[in-house]
Chains A and B, each alone.
Chain A
Amino acid sequence: MTTKLKWVDVVIVGLGWTGGILAKELTEAGMKVVALERGGMRTSENDYSLPNIRDELRYVVRHDLMQNTARDTLTVRNNPQQEALPMRRLGSFLPGEVVGGSGVHWSGHTWRWTDMEFKIRSNYEERYGKKFLPDDMTI
């Protein structure tokens, strides 16, 4: 059965980094925006605070923030001669869920930046010259 929802200007499917920034820009431009996301309700204080979010076993190894392949998965083959079989666990790529997308999926992988990362432009200029990076490149 089809449920007709109220008309809006924009529907964003997936509210991660991209969807989130688009939603901000579009609503500020005066548009009515609805964003769709899957997965359970998660909050910063319950789910993303330390030390729990740094639980490598739960998140990195067992994929607690990723799509549940017991419910829904893909079949994969690596060439046309193979028979496609279900991907029974996630492996080479990790489709996630919940509001925030990759912004929350990194589960403790957002380490503090190293000294080098603050000097990338200087390092490039030192090695390859001032003209190596285009003016409009923002690193």
Chain B
Amino acid sequence: MKKPELDRRDFIKGAVVGGAAAAGAIAPVDIAQAEPAVATQATAPQAAGYEFLNLDEAAFIEALVDHMIPADDISPKGTDLGVNIYIDRALAGSWGKGDRLYTHGPWKLGAPSQGYQLPLTPAQLYRAGVDATNAHCHKTYGQSFDCIEAAQREEVLVGLSGGKIKFDNGLPVRTFWTTLYQTVVEGMYSDPIYGGNRNKAGWAIIGFPGVIAVHATMSQATAASRSRTSRLASRT
């Protein structure tokens, strides 16, 4: 009698057999056969969805990065570069959670030269800042940042960068702006493994071909004695 469901043992057995068959199959594959698979992979859709951003924040960030990085003869627009994805992953990840940030008192704002002093992780700062910016937009233009005109967005961003806008929730505007600006730049120029700089289009703007990859071997001495076979990293 056939069991209605695969049990755990069957699954593991199947996985081992399947794994062995797959391993056997990989060896004889030549480059000509492998090429179509690579091409398929390259055209596979990008991972969609956000880990950290909620719907309002996602709309804000998408509008922000497309305004700051418009599609033109220099680069694709921000969302096509994946800058929104970079920001989402950065906020969801260890940096956003305050990794390496000293989070004990005393809590005082201090002088600007004493650096960041808010009791907020970068993700909390971002959330509060996006909320406060949208509140400003509602008050001033009657709509959230993603719904206002390009000229109004420009006015908001200039207001944030120059500290002309004051947030009702008391968040220091310059601190939020600095973090916002920094993450947009990072999403444009950091390694594509972090979700931005898609297809190395950010690096293409500045004429940077990518990072050289070399074979890592078991010791430095061995590595040095090997011929320096190097290639450009083909990360995308």
Interface residues in chain A, defined as those with a beta carbon under 8 Å from any beta carbon in chain B: 44-46, 49-51, 54-57, 61-63, 68-70, 73, 76-78, 82-83, 85-89, 91
Contact = CB atoms under 8 A, between A and B. Distances in A.
Nearest to A61: B186
Given A51-B212, A56-B190, A89-B115, A73 B102 contact: yes
A82 B114 contact: yes
A102 B218 CA distance: 23
Interface stretch (B23-31, B57-65, B72-80, B92-100): B92-100
A77 B114 contact: yes
Contacts of A86: 102, 104, 106
Contacts of B186: 57, 61
A88 B98 CA distance: 10
Contacts of B40: none
Contacts of A73: 102
Given A55-B191, A61-B186, A88 B216 contact: no
A68 B102 CA distance: 9
A49 B102 contact: no
Interface of B: 95, 98-104, 106, 108, 110-111, 113-117, 186, 190-191, 194, 210-214, 216-220, 223, 230, 233, 235
B194 A70 contact: no
B223 A44 contact: yes
Contacts of B117: 85, 88
A46 B101 CA distance: 26
B100 A91 contact: no
B178 to A, nearest CB: 12
Contacts of A70: 98-103
B223 A88 contact: no
A68 B100 contact: yes
A82 B111 contact: yes
Which residue of B101, B114, B213, B233 has the most chain A CB atoms within 10 A of its CB atom?
Answer: B114
17 contacts: A44-B220, A49-B223, A50-B212, A51-B210, A51-B211, A51-B235, A54-B211, A54-B212, A55-B191, A57-B186, A57-B194, A61-B186, A73-B102, A76-B114, A83-B108, A86-B106, A89-B100
Contacts, number: 86
Given A55-B211, A88-B101, 5 more contacts: A51-B213, A68-B100, A77-B114, A78-B114, A89-B102
Contact of A89 (B116, B211, B223): B116
B52 to A, nearest CB: 17
Contacts of B223: 44-45, 49
Contacts of B214: 49-50
Contacts of B190: 55-57, 61
A88 B210 CA distance: 32
Contacts of B230: 50
A55 B186 CA distance: 12
List of 5 A-B pairs having minimum Cβ-Cβ separation, nearest first: A51-B211, A57-B190, A49-B216, A88-B102, A45-B216
A87 B212 contact: no
B36 to A, nearest CB: 27
Nearest to B107: A85
A57 B218 CA distance: 26
A85 B219 contact: no
A9 B151 CA distance: 72
A62 to B, nearest CB: 6
A62 B95 CA distance: 8
